[in-house]
Amino acid sequence: MSNERKKLFKKFEKEHYTILVPDMCPIHFDLLTHCLEKDGMHMVIVTPQGPAAKEEGLASIHNDACYPALITCGAFVDALKTGQYDLNKTAVIMSQTGGGCRASNYISLFRKAFEKEFPTVPVLSLNFSGLEKERSLPLTLRRSLEFLHCVVYGDFLMNLVNQSRPYYGEEKVNETLNCCLEYLHRQIGHQAFYQRKKNYRYLLSQFKPLEPPEKRKPRVGIVGEIFVKYSPYANNHLKDFLISQNTEVVEPSLSEFVLYCIYNLINDHTLYGMNRLLNGLYKKAYKIALKETRIAAKALEGTRFEPFEDFAEIVENAPEVISTGVKMGEGWLIPAEMVSFAKGDKVKNIVVVQPFGCLPNHIVGKGMIRPVKERYPEENIVPLDFDASSTQVNQENRLKLMLANLKD
């Protein structure tokens, strides 16, 4: 780890800096930020309300930037303008995938946007690709493992919530969820955090009274660009709307995206001979992450809660419609998730969400609906666009067209 970076993060810890984090996956990010709080950092998840963040985004960065970039930047600017934070002791952090899409390049856009109004606020990066060497969060082996566990625990809880909320209501489910999150918060940073089987048993015991009934509501899968798929602010509370329409929502896990990123690194070696020295390490990381998701899936055996699709099967399904060499944005993952839903007998309705200004996901999302429909004509699939000015009413009307043909 470079000395500069060490010094910078020590300074944040010593001077009690507040680090602002964009709100993408509420459950996962809650656990991930707690992980960093245990290490001495003060993290605040910025959850925008109302149109202000979108307006700030439009005013701060070029309007051909993709919607997730615009909304994240706007949310930070909006938060910094509230006067709630000491601008000399506040930083913001965002993830970089290291891939070819804009997610790797937002950071310079943000720095430019902050230059005039918030020159003292550093823009930090979280990435596993060696980018931003001086200003990225140091990732030790312990921290990386803890992050992985947070992602898988987050998926586990998100899955339980998604399967119980349509039948028991938001209040009751959130109460149980908060109880589970508090339980995990107490364990982060201790050995107990790694006792997954015991912890999954505990989480399941809390959700036991909220088990879904045998006869389920029609299920609607949501696939698409990662930020818009998960962030309730970015997708105008899509999940709430679908639940209000008497459906059960199925969201692919965040681990699928993590595994997709690692798989692509391995594939770069297979296809192009890249990453020769690190290939062994990537393969090991892939094995560990896949195993973690399988431990979580196994914990659900004997209950009515259903696990996520196994990632190895998703990989196998991809070549039906797309090459696994397509890896810009969410690349082959989106069509592979659609095929996996279509092949199973549970999710017969799919919403493909895509942000404005995102070329990769318009191709692998909207652009791949036709090949999937040609193979699986019974699948009810609708694309849904998001941008800073699209209204919730328009989106809901579009969804209602899909809901009119809902498949059980």
CB 135 within 8 A of CB 124: yes
Number of other residues whose CB lies within 10 A of the CB of residue 207: 24
365 interacts with ligand SF4 by CB under 6 A: no
Single residue of 19, 25, 66, 363 touching ligand SF4 by CB under 6 A: 66
What percentage of the chain's residues is helix, strand, coil (to nearest 5)?
55, 10, 35
Q: Which residue is nearest to ligand SF4 (CB)?
A: 358
Q: How far is CA 307 from CA 161, 318, 393, in A?
A: 12, 20, 33
Our finding on whether 383 is near ligand SF4 (CB under 6 A) is no
CB of 108 to ligand SF4, least distance (A): 13
Cα–Cα distance for residue pair 29/297, rounded to 1 Å:
21
Provide the minimum distance between the beta carbon of 65 and ligand SF4 in the complex, in angstroms, as a whole number: 8
The DSSP line for 342-363 is HHSSS--EEEEEEETT-HHHHH
Q: Which of residues 212-241 bind ligand SF4 (CB under 6 A)?
A: 225
- CA atoms within a 13 Å half-sphere pointing along the CA-CB vector of 204: 18
Applying CB under 6 A, does 358 fall inside the site for ligand SF4?
A: yes
Q: Which is nearer to ligand SF4, 333 or 403 (CB)?
A: 333
Q: Which stretch binds ligand SF4 (CB under 6 A): 63-71, 128-136, 232-240, 247-255?
A: 63-71
> In terms of CB distance, is 107 or 188 closer to ligand SF4?
107
Q: Which of 360, 363, 372, 380 binds ligand SF4 (CB under 6 A)?
A: 360
The candidate with the shortest Cα–Cα distance to 338, out of 372, 386, 364, 370, is 372
Query: How many residues sit in the footprint of ligand SF4 (CB under 6 A)?
Result: 12
- If the CB atoms of residues 255 and 361 are measured against ligand SF4, the closer one turns out to be 361
161 part of the interface to ligand SF4, by CB under 6 A: no
Nearest to 167 by CA among 216, 124, 233, 132: 216
Let me know the angle formed at the C-alpha of 182 by 227 and 189, rounded to the nearest 5 degrees: 85
Check binding of 355 to ligand SF4 (CB under 6 A).
yes
Min separation Cβ 113 and ligand SF4, Å: 16
Q: Please report where in the chains the tokens 């941008």 appear, as a residue.
A: 387
Binding-site member from 349, 361, 380, 395 for ligand SF4 (CB under 6 A): 361
One-letter amino acid for residue 30 of the chain: D
Does 333 bind ligand SF4 (CB under 6 A)? Our answer is: no
Nearer to ligand SF4, 56 or 330 (CB): 330
Spatial neighbors of 355 by CB under 8 A, at least 6 apart, are 66, 67, 68, 225, 227, 228, 234, 361, 385, 386, 387
x-or-dash string of contact with ligand SF4, 93-112, rule CB under 6 A: --------xxx---------
Binding residues for ligand SF4 (CB under 6 A): 66, 68-69, 101-103, 225, 329, 355, 358, 360-361
